[in-house]
Structure 1
Amino acid sequence: MLGNSLYEGLLTNLKNSFTYEFWVKPDILHPINKQSRKKPVNPDGQNYINGPGHVKYYDEAAVHVSVGKNGITVYEHTDINIYAVLVYEEVIKKEAHIAVIYDDGRPYLYMNGAFVKSGERSPKRNVYPAGIFGEQPGLYFEGDIKEIRLWDHCRSEKQLQTDRNKQLKGNEEGLFGSWTARRDVESEVISKKKSNRQNRTNKKNQDIEVSIIIPSFNKFPLNLFTLYSLENQTFNPAKMEVIFIDDASTDQTEEKLKNYHPPYQFNYIRNEKNLGRAKVRNVGIRSARGSLLIFLDAEMVTEPDFVEKHYRYHQSKNKMILSGVMHSKKIYTCIFPEFSQDVRDKITDLTTTNQEINRRLRDFQLPSENPYPLVEKNDITSLSYKDLVFKSFSWFQKITKNFDADLNGFMFPWMALLTGNVSIRKEFIEQAGMFDEDFIQYGYEDWELGYRLYKMGAKYLVRNDVTTYHQEHPVGQDKWKEAIHNLRLFINKHPDVDVLILGLELARIADLITISKVLKEYKLLLKSYPERFQGFQEKFIRILETIVLLLQIDIRHVNILGAAGIGSEGRIELQEDLLSIKNLDSFTNLASIMEKLMNT
């Protein structure tokens, strides 16, 4: 027997041309996906015989097969998505011999020795067969498997018809591997299946793959619209949970959501006192049962494929953090009493294309004490809420316009950890120590964690296809002093130039793109000339520390060098270093910013 050779996740010894043979009798129906190589599918609920295998590279795919009482589906699993590349609907009431043949990347399907259907050739360079799934074949297949064979070539129809009723010796030419059920193994598999069904019923925790963590403080009814949008996901609701942490809200949140019963698993947690942004998210992390965490703001409406795309991106990459906030759009779902007339006029213009929403708007009357909803649940489900989406500029756009999705060349990729819409493996965030609960007030608790993860090897990915819509609401009191306090805390924990230099942006001395260039050139200067510019390095760090101090005590940034304790002799030394740096021709941004600081 060659059975052991089938127990690998991905059989890379074979590629593009091979033959699977299965003798099976399925006990259940499986979902019928639409056959397409362009549109990925949600493969949850399938009745897999083998796989799925996971590939590492974008130009590869792994093959796995699902068989139900209503037909057969052949899937190709790429580095990100899964595609139903051959779908055949057929009633299967008794044991059937099924052959899936790949000929130079093109799939063909045979039943009981007869050809029934073919699919399009794979666009991938290499297509591999996936191995057996589980401890024994059929452990996760609802039905009976009599035999599995895998060949390293394309079997002909005549070979299939001749050999399908023959018992193999195990040394046939081209036979890569085979597995045949024995009675003791069949009994073991049946016993394990029954046990698995019971465990799935009694231990829902094991089914949860994605935990969505939503902290909320006085965001009703915006938070309800966010939850409605999560009801409309393409991802299997039985495999996702929403952990909703009500951080001592005083609005209608508790009254309306405490007994909320969506199709996904919903965990409502009520804090008796406000814990703040870091602690409340740690509550969510500790409560999460999924291996993948998605942090979502309470006022973010999601697209139907939001959860599925977050999940798919994480299947092929380790230590990845996927962020979508930088591509978020804005929307009005409510009229707040605090909205100005200009904002109400803008909402009126947006509703002209939707008669029903426009009618609701006309029914709104001032004075009003509470937010007035413009949308209802059916608007979220039908996606008609998008009529209220509008464009506006955000500082995020400076980053997304200048750098690719991997943020290559950007010196602050960890800024992508923005908890409005970001996902990360639970194990990874636990290894980093979760959110630092010393951050109590507004700001920087997410970037501080992002920076720690970055130093642990995190790779950040900023995508425009994990879309969310920020529901606009009145902005609270000025958070400037809280943000400056937390920046100081951030610097105390990480006294690195990568963090210190952020003061230049807050002091409006330079924008973020310029600061990224300055930091890149500064590090290159020290690497290229480790001994020559030690005095310059010391003064540069002292100037950055002074800028943050002036921000903290709210003093204008005038005579920064004097405030940094750099006297006339130090200025002369700095001027000489600056002249030398200019002559090197590779540090124009660094020289320019230093010149600007010297002239304040």
Structure 2
Amino acid sequence: MFLSVVIPTYNRLPILQKCLIALENQQLNHPQITDYEVIVVDDGSTDETIPWLMEHSSEVPHVRLLQQEHGGPAIARNLGIQQSQGDIIVFIDSDLVVLKNFLQCHGEALLEAQRTLGSDRCFTYGAVINTSNFENPTAEPYKITDFSAAFFATGNVAIPKHWLETAGLFDPQFQLYGWEDLELGVRLKALGLKLIKCPKAVGYHWHPPFTLDQIPHLIEKEIQRGRMGVLFYQKHPTWDVRLMIQMTWLHRLLWGGLSFGGSLNEKTLAPLLQWLIDRGKPQVASEVARIFLNWYNVQGVYAAYRESLSTG
């Protein structure tokens, strides 16, 4: 078993450095897990990502650098898959820091599942713990908010390469934020692949502490997620997908009610959010902000859906 870790990145050099150094420190001691490579696909970064990778290549010898014009993570991951040498693809994001046993845990869980199932029609899904601790991200404990019910998400997953190819890889139409991995997951599920939880393969997903300055960008991401959600639904027009993308009367009622029809928004809640931040509770402030961010998402979904009907 040779593993290819595929990492798309865009302007995330400080945390990417931690991500790659952690991957260099992997300890493999299973006779069937032979080696690994790390494929970094730079998605048109404008920071110092490329110069740093070139200048520090001796420090990250497992890394192979690929470059493309800015086209989004779906296209970047496809390029990484196509250029990979491994029979197993491991997907993580460039803001994820892993433990030394990360790849070994994925590999062992895959081998055990293949023995149990009698085939390789499966993939492993590791644990993702969210943290704002940049200096020591792996010190963060697991929280109930870290739970994910997703079937296939590229934050921490390992899968035989040939199943990705059979499914048709990621859809390059997903060029904005969101849903490209879950959409591929629908196709993988249709092929009969089984999800194997692998909680020992832990990745620590770093994001900066919440501030009011982030809100415009977060709102834009929710609007983009709405547009990509409609694309997801157009490809798979099922009730399950409607639930995932929040395109139901329940979500309109829930987030419209909690936000009082949008009157609780980034402007009216700003004093409360700043008060929480000033008292060292940026995570609580972030959760409060989800009220209006989810309302933006629901509005974005329905706006994109109406647009698709008028142009379709």
- TM-score in terms of structure 1 length: 0.38
Q: Which sections of structure 2, spanning at least 5 residues, go unmatched?
A: 115-119, 256-297, 306-312
Aligned-partner Cα distance in 2 for 1:468–1:321: 16
Identity between Structure 1 and Structure 2 (%)? 29
- Say whether residues 1:397 and 2:164 are aligned partners: no
Question: Does the 8 Å CA contact 2:24/2:60 hold for their aligned counterparts?
Answer: yes
State the partner residue of 2:131.
Answer: 330
- The Cα of 1:482 is off from its aligned counterpart by 1.0
Deviation string 1:296-340 (CA, Å, 9 cap, x unpaired) is 111111011000111111114222121124x4242421xxxxxxx
State the partner residue of 2:39.
Answer: 243
Distance 1:387 1:423, change over 3 A: closer
Aligned-partner Cα distance in 1 for 2:105–2:141: 24
Q: Identify the structure with bigger relative contact order (alpha carbons < 8 Å, sequence gap 6+).
A: 2
- The Cα of 1:504 is off from its aligned counterpart by 3.3
- Say whether residues 1:488 and 2:235 are aligned partners: no
User: Aligned letter for 1:309?
Assistant: C
Match of 1:500 among 227, 236, 242: 242
State the partner residue of 2:273.
Answer: none
- Say whether residues 1:209 and 2:2 are aligned partners: yes
- The Cα of 1:471 is off from its aligned counterpart by 1.7
- Say whether residues 1:423 and 2:165 are aligned partners: no
Aligned-partner Cα distance in 2 for 1:483–1:452: 20
Question: Does the 8 Å CA contact 2:20/2:60 hold for their aligned counterparts?
Answer: no
Q: Which sections of structure 1, spanning at least 5 residues, go unmatched?
A: 1-207, 334-373, 375-384, 400-414, 512-547, 556-600
State the partner residue of 1:114.
Answer: none
- Say whether residues 1:432 and 2:167 are aligned partners: yes
What are the within-5 Å matches in structure 2 for residues 24-423 of structure 1? 209-235=2-28, 239-259=35-55, 260-262=57-59, 264-271=61-68, 273-316=69-112, 317=114, 318-325=120-127, 327-333=128-134, 374=135, 385=136, 388-389=139-140, 393-394=144-145, 396-397=146-147, 399=149, 415-423=150-158
What are the within-5 Å matches in structure 2 for residues 1-20 of structure 1? none
Aligned-partner Cα distance in 1 for 2:168–2:180: 13
Deviation string 1:535-575 (CA, Å, 9 cap, x unpaired) is xxxxxxxxxxxxx89842289xxxxxxxxxxxxxxxxxxxx
Question: Does the 8 Å CA contact 1:330/1:391 hold for their aligned counterparts?
Answer: no
Distance 1:492 1:386, change over 3 A: closer
What are the within-5 Å matches in structure 2 for residues 449-460 of structure 1? 449-460=184-195
Question: Does the 8 Å CA contact 2:23/2:100 hold for their aligned counterparts?
Answer: yes
Aligned-partner Cα distance in 1 for 2:299–2:19: 40
Q: Classify the secondary structure of the residue corresponding to 2:201.
A: coil
State the partner residue of 1:164.
Answer: none
- Say whether residues 1:462 and 2:197 are aligned partners: yes
User: Aligned letter for 1:389?
Assistant: E
Deviation string 1:104-139 (CA, Å, 9 cap, x unpaired) is xxxxxxxxxxxxxxxxxxxxxxxxxxxxxxxxxxxx
Distance 1:505 1:439, change over 3 A: farther
Aligned-partner Cα distance in 1 for 2:238–2:131: 35
- TM-score in terms of structure 2 length: 0.70
- The Cα of 1:261 is off from its aligned counterpart by 2.3
State the partner residue of 2:181.
Answer: 446
User: Aligned letter for 1:504?
Assistant: T
Question: Does the 8 Å CA contact 1:330/1:392 hold for their aligned counterparts?
Answer: no
Aligned-partner Cα distance in 1 for 2:59–2:154: 23
Aligned positions, number: 245
Distance 1:240 1:393, change over 3 A: same
Q: Classify the secondary structure of the residue corresponding to 2:199.
A: coil
User: Aligned letter for 1:469?
Assistant: Y
- The Cα of 1:455 is off from its aligned counterpart by 0.9
- The Cα of 1:290 is off from its aligned counterpart by 0.3
Task: Write out the 4+ residue segments of structure 1 that deviate beyond 6 Å after TM superposition.
Answer: none
